[in-house]
Structure 1
């Protein structure tokens, strides 16, 4: 009886192993959820809905955008971390939930490296240094020289404490000795309004938010935190040219699945993301906002996973420099 029981258990185990690849091959057989950890209307939600039609077509099943807002993206991120790893739940996320909060908060209900399977990076939007229109400095070198000559004399606004822009200030100060004083606002809008009004001389923000201000002369972009100069602003120097060590500081958007999602399923999701990013309309809309889509060869789980690890290292250093603690 024992021998017969062991034989039956072994057969059942083999059947289960065989069923796994079969399920992966059939995937997807129903709609796939794309969770956004923010309310409708923001850049992450915008991107999800921009990618949705092309991804649905590539997968042969509807991709349903679901907003699970709360705690700066933590609620939605945690929900996906705890979802079944079957490919039917994905997360689209920006930088903060997976690269900043893990190094700036003492407690987080998930681990970005342990609890997720990367699918692929969608794009980066570089952080830029904006100055008010009455600031006479035309180059980064001029600006840094002037800032160093008046220690603490330049305040720099951001969307808030612990934001990517705030951490960019800490890294910029460390690399250049500029001594900018961080002024946190409750969101990008109020900070931009004060910059335009001349109430603050400097602001760090995403390129997508700053482009129109630069174009119409209400403020000027004099530095960009990208590895290379932006084709949208070829005359604007990179922050690395001013002395920063880090080549790229950006809002990075990508797709993640729960850890344990079968590799074959992840590959189907990755291929759908790559197809969506190759769509001419999608690429044009993102490019007009200053988003940098990676080459097709870099839209992979391995590449996005390395991006997250690199960002964790960079922002860990920035958090220590600024003694940043988020709750």
Structure 2
């Protein structure tokens, strides 16, 4: 069994970590009430992507409640591994936290021959912050209006159609491989250093299309600089109701969404975890936050997703789905 997929005992142990670390919490709080200095949210991807936007939204909301500023720091590279490893190696005192997503938490480790960290052992899930559907968007001058036309055009065009993603093993990579496997499309994968890094090249016409989270390209769709061909959600997005889902276009059961979550280094004291979760729960119930999430098509976290056990259970399911996708796509760890 791959060490990134916990068994029942591993999952229960992960969920119970805050309770088991009461001593560590007492020691941490003895040095002064937390927080007594600025907190850092490490986003392991370039600015402008879904993780970055969501991180800044929640950071701005919970900072006043916690009484300290929260600095969002982008550390991109290696499909999120560089920024994630920095948090894994950080002191577990609640001042250096990770904004995690499928690429850095699930897909990346499963596709690394020599992973730099063990997601389930080295990180403690604080809460999910939201989930957004993925889309395929192409340049407006590409002669395609839907997914079927994209597939047909890619097969006829010499060299196929180039599609950018957030990187090998990133949140967008596995859905692209599944789409190729399901349709036989001749799509050439172009990996970048995070979802935000794909946008300038796309706008400049250096890549034919990108598979990315919906919020990142809403403005491009609305001002005509891109054309979204399909949304990988169960129902059409209220933000782009004119765009059919992948399922409506004949890809039965094709769903692809990207989560954003907050993670702490393993060993973070229980009082810190509780304070963070209380602040995040308050933010997630704020009408302004809910409106902002809805404005870019994101689903807010459920009550369970604002707890460590709830996120742990969610991750177990995500890892199982990722394993299936990797097998279907025939990918091998590198």
TM-score (norm 1): 0.76
Indicate the residue corresponding to 1:181 in structure 2: 187
Q: Are 1:167 and 2:177 an aligned pair?
A: no
**What are structure 2's unaligned runs of at least 5 residues?**
1-20
Whether the aligned pair in 1 keeps the contact of 2:137 and 2:211 (CA below 8 Å) is yes
Instruction: Say which one has the larger Rg.
Output: 1
Cα distance in 2, alignment partners of residues 204 and 20 from structure 1: 42
Cα distance change of structure 1 residues 322 and 194 upon mapping to structure 2, 3 Å threshold: farther
Indicate the residue corresponding to 1:249 in structure 2: 257
Paired residues for 1:1-327 under 5 Å: 20=25, 28-31=34-37, 33-38=39-44, 41-43=47-49, 44-59=51-66, 61-65=67-71, 67=73, 69=75, 71-72=77-78, 73-133=80-140, 138-140=145-147, 142-143=148-149, 146=152, 150=156, 154-159=160-165, 160-175=167-182, 177-184=183-190, 186=192, 187-189=197-199, 191-193=201-203, 200=208, 202-241=209-248, 242-243=250-251, 245-250=253-258, 252-320=259-327, 321-323=329-331, 325-326=333-334
Give the superposed CA RMSD.
3.6
Cα distance in 2, alignment partners of residues 249 and 89 from structure 1: 26
Indicate the residue corresponding to 1:7 in structure 2: none
Cα distance in 2, alignment partners of residues 153 and 19 from structure 1: 57
Please say which of residues 100-109 and 49-58 is displaced more in the overlay: 49-58
Cα distance in 2, alignment partners of residues 69 and 148 from structure 1: 34
TM-superposition CA deviations, 1:258-291 (whole Å, max 9, x none): 2233445323211211222333444444433333
Whether the aligned pair in 2 keeps the contact of 1:227 and 1:248 (CA below 8 Å) is no
Task: Give the C-alpha shift of residue 110 in structure 1.
Answer: 1.3
Task: Give the C-alpha shift of residue 47 in structure 1.
Answer: 3.5
Cα distance in 2, alignment partners of residues 66 and 77 from structure 1: 14
Spell out structure 1 runs of 4+ moving beyond 6 A: 16-19, 22-26
Whether the aligned pair in 2 keeps the contact of 1:119 and 1:301 (CA below 8 Å) is yes
Cα distance change of structure 1 residues 57 and 184 upon mapping to structure 2, 3 Å threshold: same
Other structure's SS at 1:170 match: helix
Aligned residues: 304
Whether the aligned pair in 1 keeps the contact of 2:94 and 2:268 (CA below 8 Å) is yes
TM-superposition CA deviations, 1:121-161 (whole Å, max 9, x none): 11223210224435565454x43774697598852411344
Other structure's SS at 1:311 match: helix
Whether the aligned pair in 1 keeps the contact of 2:54 and 2:129 (CA below 8 Å) is no
Cα distance change of structure 1 residues 20 and 188 upon mapping to structure 2, 3 Å threshold: closer
Task: Give the C-alpha shift of residue 317 in structure 1.
Answer: 3.6
Please say which of residues 100-109 and 158-167 is displaced more in the overlay: 158-167
Other structure's SS at 1:129 match: strand
Task: Give the C-alpha shift of residue 120 in structure 1.
Answer: 0.7
Whether the aligned pair in 2 keeps the contact of 1:191 and 1:203 (CA below 8 Å) is no
